[in-house]
Chain A
């Protein structure tokens, strides 16, 4: 543990693995993300929390250069991913694992072939090696038994775990998880958090986890960013967040509807107007 902290400290003095600098993103003239900045170093586990619809998924898409920011920069190992040619971008992307909110498994491939897909497309491994790797990856998420099933035969939580196995198949350096704990029972959720920590301890894997699951966050995260209305409202270690007196943080942690973070989607009519003059 001490060793790891020293290592993290040493790493933190060097170039960050990922730097998000003043990123602003608009959709149809509406700000989704406003001036978001943070950075993380190798081995960090960062949690991004916030109400739904605040742009967490959008943030991950920006980091993986699936969409372009209106202003600001995103640097992965000092490289601006948005400036790369498609070929170079794909090379960088093979070092990043991205698990989608809905799993996004290929509906025409079996669970096994889904996990084998990135290996078959991006490596020259033999079929035997691919079979062993896929089996191990599926075993790690507890789903070796469903290898021959098709994605539509899985529950939402299982599909997400298969997606997790698939996104780690190429042993990425940076993992982006979009709500991995949603739809998981406490046991799988516990296994997922342990496996995220194990991957950090053994492979020094860096992770960004988007989630609502406070309990899981307290177990794994080094740093927590809370975003609301497209801005980072608060950042800090789990202990700092839990003991914070910042109204936004208190509201989010306690789950109150009224406070700094609006629960209601903005509208220019009052409830009375909508009800009576509809």
Chain B
């Protein structure tokens, strides 16, 4: 019993310590504005790297999600005889929920784990330490460009995801389910408010970008100096990011809709 309480206390302390360490690391990255133009070029390079890495999977998943939502939505809406509202249903669910969330989950699985593996390999091979001895701060050289690139890339990917999903939904609705293409577009246009619905999705996506890239970089920088440490760090990135994204999505949605 005593031991149980002791363990609980220990876990709580560890949690507090980890939170503290991560927060300190986050502050370090944010306040490490690069002192050289090169580091800003590195941001562009990283956007390219992260974007290209995730692009294919994002587009394919977007298409499937759009088609599935169209089929499911049609099935449910036809029970109320409201098939004509299908495009509104597709657009709203994609812009507000599926776009940002699924993009973030895919980003964490594809780009996030690759980022952790890349940085973790630098850590394990003493490359980060060798930067320090050459008077180069690994936080501004390695962490900063990747962090900023992740934050910029995520909303861009989410927008591409939404576009693909809606287009795929359009194709299914019009050519398979027989909805008039004019109705589809006009209902969507009147049902979606850019400043509210689309912007909410982009805001979410931006926050997911911060969280997913931070977790990936943090895990990379804190990889154990072993071969198995690298695999564990990549797994942790995917697990922690997914939980964080879904949890945050709930909180953000509650604020955005409930407020």
A interface residues, Cβ below 8 angstroms from B:
64, 66, 86, 90-91, 93-94, 96, 98, 100, 102, 104-108, 117-118, 120-122, 163, 166-167, 170
Given known contacts A107-B121, A107-B122, is B134 in contact with A117 (CB within 8 Å)? yes
**Residue from A91, A100, A106 within 8 A of B135 (CB atoms):** A91
Q: Do A93 and B133 form a contact, CB below 8 Å, given A120-B38, A121-B36?
A: yes
From known contacts A120-B38, A121-B36, infer whether A104 and B127 are also in contact, taking CB-CB under 8 Å: yes
Nearest A residue (CB) for B136: A121
Find out whether the CB atom of B135 lies under 8 angstroms from the CB atom of A102. no
- For A122, what are the chain B residues with a Cβ–Cβ distance below 8 Å? 134-136
Q: Is A121 a contact of B125 with CB atoms below 8 Å?
A: no
B122 contacts across to A, CB distance below 8 A: 106-107
Enumerate chain A residues within 8 angstroms of B129, measured Cβ to Cβ. Answer: 66, 100, 104
| A184 vs B74: C-alpha distance when bound (angstroms) | 71
Known contacts A106-B127, A107-B127, A121-B136; 17 additional CB pairs below 8 A are: A90-B137, A91-B135, A93-B135, A96-B133, A98-B130, A100-B126, A102-B125, A105-B127, A106-B130, A107-B121, A107-B122, A121-B36, A121-B134, A121-B141, A122-B134, A122-B136, A170-B134
Contacts of A66 in B (CB 8 A): 129, 132-133
Q: Give chain A residues whose Cβ lies under 8 Å from the Cβ of B118.
A: 108
- Give Cα distance in the complex from A233 to B118, angstroms: 41
B125 touches A104 (CB 8 A): yes
A178 to chain B, nearest CB (A): 10
The CA-CA distance from A9 to B93 in the complex, in Å, is 81
Taking a contact as CB atoms under 8 Å apart, the answer to whether B135 and A90 are in contact is: yes
Binary flags per residue of B117-160, CB closer than 8 Å to A gives 1, else 0: 01001100111011011111100010000000000000000000
A155 to chain B minimum Cβ distance, whole angstroms, is: 16
7 cross-chain CB contacts under 8 A: A86-B137, A93-B135, A94-B135, A100-B129, A104-B129, A117-B136, A167-B134
Task: Give the distance in Å from the alpha carbon of A199 to the alpha carbon of B92 in the complex.
Answer: 70
Chain B positions within 8 Å of A93 at CB level: 132-135
Residues of B within 8 A of A96 (CB): 133
Are A98 and B127 neighbours in the complex by a CB distance under 8 Å?
Answer: no
Nearest CB in chain B: distance from A227 CB, A? 21
Which chain A residues border B133 with CB–CB below 8 Å?
Answer: 64, 66, 93, 96, 98, 167
Query: Closest residue of chain A to B128, judged by CB?
Result: A104
Distance in angstroms from B116 CB to nearest chain A CB is 15
Residues of B within 8 A of A167 (CB): 133-134
In angstroms, how far is the closest chain B Cβ from the Cβ of A144?
21
A-B pairs, top 9 by smallest CB distance, nearest first, are: A104-B126, A104-B130, A90-B135, A98-B133, A94-B135, A118-B134, A93-B135, A121-B136, A100-B126
The complex places the Cα of A15 from the Cα of B229 at a distance, in Å, of 44
CB-CB under 8 A from A91, the residues of chain B are: 135
Please report the C-alpha to C-alpha distance between residue A43 and residue B137 in the assembled complex, in whole angstroms. 29
In the assembly, what is the distance between CA of A166 and CA of B135, in Å? 13
Which chain B residues numbered 1 to 54 have a C-beta less than 8 Å away from chain A? 36, 38
CB distance from A99 to the nearest CB of B (A): 9
Chain A residues with CB below 8 A from B126, complex form: 100, 102, 104
Nearest-Cβ distance from residue B147 to partner chain A, whole angstroms: 17
Minimal Cβ-Cβ distance residue in B for A94: B135
CA distance A64 to B130 in the complex (A): 11
> Which residues of B lie under 8 Å from residue A100 when comparing CB positions?
126, 129-130
Cα of A107 to Cα of B130 in the assembled complex, Å = 12
Report the separation of the CA atoms of residues A106 and B123 in the bound assembly, to the nearest whole angstrom. Answer: 11
Which residues in chain B, 156-196, are within 8 Å of chain A measured between CB atoms? none
Inter-chain CA distance A81–B125, complex, in Å, is 25
Q: List, in ascending order, chain B residues with CB within 8 A of A90's CB.
A: 135-137
Give the distance in Å from the alpha carbon of A163 to the alpha carbon of B122 in the complex: 15
**Which residues of B lie under 8 Å from residue A105 when comparing CB positions?**
127
CB distance from A68 to the nearest CB of B (A): 14
CA distance A90 to B133 in the complex (A): 8
- What is the bound-complex CA distance between A101 and B94, given in angstroms? 52
Complex alpha-carbon distance, A102 and B125, angstroms: 8
Chain A, residue nearest B132 (CB): A66
Contact A107 B125 (CB under 8 A): yes
CB proximity of B126 to chain A, nearest CB, Å: 4
